[in-house]
Amino acid sequence: MPSSRIALLQSSGRPGDTVKNLEVVDGAARAAAAGGACLLVCPEMFLTGYAIGADVSRLAETADGPAAGAVSRIADEYGIAVLYGYPERSADPARRETIHNAARLVGPDGSPLADYRKTHLFGGFEQEWFTPGDTPVVQADLDGLRVGIMICYDVEFPENVRAHALAGTDLLLVPTAQMHPFQFVAESVVPVRAFENQMYVAYVNRTGHEGEGADAFEFVGLSCLAGPDGTTRARAGRGDELLFGDVDPELLRASRAANPYLRDRRPGLYGSLH
């Protein structure tokens, strides 16, 4: 089975301007498809910006809102799957209105493949404006791979990633807004997660300064594709970048055969870990 090329969009776009950010997605999807990628992964909250304060409520949309339609048209035009982050407004009439830090994966024909809501909210900003999701493992099949989704802080909880490993995830997509001084997560934690769970992890970050006052952040970039052998297969710098990496099913198969972690687990010993 041939490798699957994926593209990681490291950018913060223009916070607060969904129209402009959709233009960035369009340009990145065109370039990614031209570079042979089957999938474009955008950062956390890319369609609106991350540090947007009370504008979260104004800019949030339902999962099938206008922005979703625009991304679907982009994916269909260039024949490439797209994962993007955005604030999702709950459309459930039986509940009070809630907003989730969410991500949607659309297929190369523009059809929705998976929707995920961030389960672990980081810091006061997220905890003030978002409601956490309650589904830890969300997957879809794409280009012969079982693809999983989580968002930023979620990947720092080993139980989360192990759940994906046990569910058969081959490639874990992690749109993120990872900021200074936590760059060690991108540099060290993510490759370890890939190794200990025998999967590829695509960790796709924002860049530069965003927000003001208590909600000011300096995003560190350093997006990467980490492999099941614990090596970083592709690594971005600190600025805007479209990074390409290859997911090799043969490396995945060989690494899983050689690494005993999942086979040597003793689940009966872990019952108290809750």
> Would you list the domain boundaries of the chain?
4-264
Q: State the pLDDT at residue 272.
A: 81
Is the sign of the CA dihedral 164, 62, 19, 82 positive or negative?
Answer: positive
What would the CATH number be for the domain defined by 4-264?
3.60.110.10
Whose CA is closest to 23, among 46, 54, 56, 6? 46
248, 34, 225, 134: CA torsion to nearest 10? -100
Active site residues: 44, 118, 152
Q: State the pLDDT at residue 92.
A: 65
256 vs 1, which has greater pLDDT? 256
For 161, the enclosing helix (H) or strand (E) is: helix 158-166
Q: Report residue 48: phi and psi, to 5°.
A: -120, -20
Mean pLDDT of the chain: 95
**Percentage, residues of the chain above pLDDT 90:** 91
For 253, residues 6+ apart whose C-beta sits below 8 A from its C-beta are none
Task: Indicate the pLDDT class of residue 200, thresholds 50, 70 and 90.
Answer: very high
Q: What is the pTM of this model?
A: 0.96
